[in-house]
Amino acid sequence: MSTKKKIKAKKANQKQASTWSKIWSGTKYFAKSWFSNETVVDARTKPWYYAIIIGVLSVLLAVIPMMTNEFKVKGGDFLSSPSYDYTSQLADFTADMKLKGVDLKVENGEVSDAGSTKWNEAYPNGYYAHIVEKNVSYVKTDAAGENAEVVIEKIKYVDFAVYLNLDGDIEETAKTVFEGKNPVIADEKVADKFNINVMFIAKDSFYCYKKDPTMANSSSLSRQFKFDSKNPAGETNYSLTSLLGATEEETIENWTTYMTLSHNSIKNKRGWATTGMGLGIYAGLTIILGVVVFIMTRGKNNPFRHYKFWECQKIAYWSSFAPAVLALALGFLFKNYSLLLFILFSGVRIMWMSMRTLKPYQA
């Protein structure tokens, strides 16, 4: 090998070694910034694009748990425990429709109007009523209001109802129903506030609500579904009675699968909306924290007053990565608080920095 080639090869090796050395040095510096406020403050002198990359990466990491939790929702989980008898009631409703010839056909993502005529014939009250018996106790007195005695009677009442409204606003129908009393058959002694499981069927969607029957003031668990999916058999146009199985367990399984399929479009829309909201909140928070750092370092006697606005922004971007990692790790454990974790940790990091590294009396 000639001398020129040797020199050229030596320079190439030195350049490669220098490149790897810079990468290793930069990696150590970045890792140190996770816990060292001094490193974060010093990073204000680093190139601007490093801060941008770290800030964007932090926001993306922080939003992952929230996004994942939204997209992991399965519509069929609505029928999981506690079901409050919703599963058996839904199976009985499907069998009753089949028995009475109620054919609610879904075509092109909507319920056909033809089914409403048969519905009204089968259910003249305007709703399907799942009827059960219940022991009710009340105090009975004579005409003078004396000789009180506790009377226990067995009455029939409705514990599950299905309302069909293909023309009007289904939300108004739900509001009207929930403001009323339980639909009672044959006896008015049960006049409690509406406290039963219910389903509302609209033109292009259906809504399910379930409540704990033992707690009159309990909040209802609800979920919306769209008629824009295939049924479990893979059919695009089908009747809701196609969900009826040979056994109650099979019917419940069909409804569980169908609910998962028919909730997907709503889940995806909500998931992307939540993700976008999270990205906007976190990006805005990071910028605001940069403004906070800038304000904290103002003042005539503040030794850090020479920090420029953009330098304070870079400090906030560099400081955001550690909170993002913590939010990512804990967001899957505390699903209900995944949105707040990055906000909390970022605020603590800036507060910690203001009390330790950016103290006004430090030189």
Let me know whether 273 and 302 are in one domain.
yes
Our count of domains for the chain comes to 2
Integer Cα distance of 114 and 206 in angstroms: 17
Q: How many CA atoms lie within 13 A of 193 on its CB side?
A: 10
198 lies in the same domain as 285: no
In-domain check, residue 50: yes
> Same domain, yes or no, for 217 and 244?
yes
Both 116 and 198 in a single domain? yes
Residue 214 lies in domain: 83-131+158-262
Distance of CA 181 to the CA centre of its chain: 30
Spatial CA neighbour of 75 closest among 202, 265, 273: 265
193 vs 220: CA distance, rounded Å: 13
Q: What does the pLDDT look like over 311-339, one tens digit per residue?
A: 999 999 999 999 999 999 999 999 889 99
Is 341 found in the same domain as 213?
A: no
How distant, in Å, are the alpha carbons of 21, 47, 236, 361 from that of 304?
Answer: 32, 20, 67, 10
What does residue 192 show for φ and ψ, rounded to 5 degrees?
-70, 165
3-class DSSP state for residue 182? coil
Per-residue pLDDT at 218: 54
Give domain status of residue 14, yes or no. Answer: no
Domain boundary among 262, 295, 329: 262
Is residue 235 a part of any domain in this protein?
yes
Q: Are 360 and 303 in contact (CB under 8 A)?
A: yes
Is 90 inside any structural domain? Answer: yes
User: Is the same domain home to 193 and 62?
Assistant: no
Residue-wise pLDDT tens for the chain (363 aa)? 566 555 555 555 555 556 777 777 778 888 888 888 899 898 899 999 999 999 999 999 999 999 999 999 999 999 987 888 999 999 999 999 999 999 899 998 899 888 888 898 999 888 898 988 777 676 777 666 666 777 777 777 788 999 998 887 777 778 777 777 666 554 455 455 567 889 999 999 999 998 876 665 555 788 999 999 889 989 989 999 999 999 999 999 999 999 999 999 999 999 999 999 999 999 999 999 999 999 988 877 778 888 899 999 999 999 999 999 999 999 999 988 999 999 999 999 999 888 877 776 544
Residue pLDDT, tens place only, 204-242: 999 999 887 666 555 578 899 999 988 998 998 999 999
Q: Which residues contact 194 (CB under 8 A, 6 or more apart)?
A: 177, 178, 179, 180, 181, 182
Among candidate residues 226, 242, 262, the one where a domain is terminated? 262
